[in-house]
Amino acid sequence: IRDMHVRGAGLIGASAGYGMYLAAVKAAAGPAGEIDEHLSRAAAQLKATRPTAVNLSWAIERQLRNIAKGTNAKEKVALALRTARSIADEDADHCRMIGQHGFELIRQIARKKAGKFAAVNPSGRTAGGPINVLTHCNAGWLAFVDHGSATAPIYASHDRGLPVHVWVAETRPRNQGSKLTAWELGEHGVPHTIVADSAAGHLMQRGAVDLVIVGTDRTTITGDVANKIGTYLKALAAKANNVPFYVALPSSSFDWKLRDGLKEIPIEQRSPEEVKKADGWFEGQMVEVRVAPQESPATNYGFDVTPGYLVTGLITERGVCEANEKSIRALFPEQMR
């Protein structure tokens, strides 16, 4: 998790769930009286790997609560495995539902676009072209157990015959967009185009983006969203150009205790070398090259916070809601006790 061989909100949570199961197996092989202490240390170690993603701590705390119900080591291991499987299965199911709700949203936008096109081009094609979706980073199959969050509506639309085209922001410095999202979309047959991160505003000014869909690693009860660095700038550009900006997330990505994302969400800082270097495929192997002077300092924030007022809506497994406390409460009343 720390080295990002496994990354993405949902997959981090699922991996942490199985990590706690493995910790339970190891603890059960040791002294009987030390299993809880061993699990506590494992939980702390896992939580420290990626501080911004709330799915991580959510999965770990869920495991600790359920494992504690066991009266002996064998029961604790069985409960840990059952919980890990449930976390993974729920992630896939929730992302599938996000895809269905997101599809309805995209279909509505497609109908509006077709109507506007027909009004100005009555003798032309009525479809008005594909729906152009801009996304950032990778919130797809490779970031979740299945379907993805931000990509789920795209896949659902494509599979149902609704023409979509995706602008894939490269997402520096690790290029999760150009490396991962573009590969995913290509494998699924979804038309897409990779663009530089700084091109998003230009595309919106030219009317080339119908909506933006991104994922999130942590969302507050007030709708503030922490996502991959660069998301905030895209939200600002969307607001300035009247482009709908949606965030897709399973409920496990909500932090029900936080209200002010800018003040309360911890922002991970990664190695400056990720900014100063780039890696890629060359003559059959992965190579790394330096793209900045060795002596120049660099700062590498992993995430930024997009305030809820810049978010058009949140696409969850229960439906779409506005990014504010009242709407979130209405969709998840059991979390507000």
* pLDDT confidence of residue 337: 62
* pLDDT confidence of residue 127: 53
Same domain (yes/no): 110, 233: yes
* Interval 45-96: pLDDT, tens: 999 998 877 889 889 999 999 999 999 999 999 999 999 999 999 999 999 9
Using alpha carbons, select from 137, 318, 323 the residue that is nearest to residue 230.
137
Same domain (yes/no): 15, 139: no
Tell me: pLDDT of 152 over 80. yes
* Any domain includes 263: yes
* Interval 186-229: pLDDT, tens: 999 999 999 999 999 999 999 999 999 999 999 999 999 999 99
Same domain (yes/no): 204, 292: yes
* Any domain includes 157: yes
Distance CA 21, CA 43 (A): 11
State the distance between the two ends of the chain, measured CA to CA, in whole angstroms: 32
Same domain (yes/no): 74, 122: no
Tell me: pLDDT of 324 over 90. yes
* pLDDT confidence of residue 126: 42
Please compute the mean of the pLDDT values over residues 167-190 and round it to a whole number: 97
Same domain (yes/no): 113, 224: yes
Q: Which of 36, 65, 87 is the last residue of a domain?
A: 87
Alpha helices for 142-260 (secondary structure H): 152-159, 176, 182-188, 200-205, 231-240
* Any domain includes 290: yes
* pLDDT confidence of residue 124: 42
Same domain (yes/no): 62, 191: no
* Any domain includes 73: yes
Helices (H) and strands (E) in the chain, counts: 12, 13
* pLDDT confidence of residue 335: 86
Q: Note down the domain range covering 109.
A: 95-336
Which residues lie across from 11 on neighbouring strands?
none
Distance CA 212, CA 154 (A): 11
- Give catalytic residues, as residue numbers: 217
Same domain (yes/no): 109, 205: yes
* pLDDT confidence of residue 35: 87
* pLDDT confidence of residue 117: 56
Residue with tokens 């550009």: 237
Same domain (yes/no): 100, 171: yes
We report the CATH number of the domain holding residue 331 as: 3.40.50.10470
Tokens read off for 56: 């991580």
Spatial contact of 257 and 266, defined as CB atoms under 8 Å apart: no
- 93: three-class secondary structure by DSSP: helix
Same domain (yes/no): 77, 104: no
Using alpha carbons, select from 133, 127, 163 the residue that is nearest to residue 248.
133
* Interval 105-140: pLDDT, tens: 999 999 999 877 555 554 444 457 899 999 999 999
Tokens read off for 27: 């603890």
* pLDDT confidence of residue 153: 98
Amino acid (one-letter) located at 80 = A
Alpha helices for the chain (secondary structure H): 9-28, 35-47, 54-67, 73-120, 152-159, 176, 182-188, 200-205, 231-240, 261-264, 273-276, 325-331
* Any domain includes 3: no
Same domain (yes/no): 164, 273: yes
Using alpha carbons, select from 18, 23, 22 the residue that is nearest to residue 86.
18
Q: Give the β-pairing of 225-228 and 303-306.
A: antiparallel
Q: Which of 28, 56, 87 is the last residue of a domain?
A: 87
We report the CATH number of the domain holding residue 22 as: 1.20.120.420
Amino acid (one-letter) located at 154 = I
* pLDDT confidence of residue 30: 83
* Any domain includes 254: yes
Those residues with Cβ within 8 angstroms of residue 14's Cβ, 6 or more apart along the chain or in another chain: 59, 84, 87, 88, 91, 144, 145
Burial label for 324, CB within 10 Å (0-12, 13-18, 19+), is middle
Distance CA 38, CA 30 (A): 9
Q: Which of 87, 111, 128 is the last residue of a domain?
A: 87
Same domain (yes/no): 62, 127: no
Please compute the mean of the pLDDT values over residues 164-168 and round it to a whole number: 99
**Domains: count for the chain:** 2
More confident residue, 300 or 6: 300
Same domain (yes/no): 47, 166: no
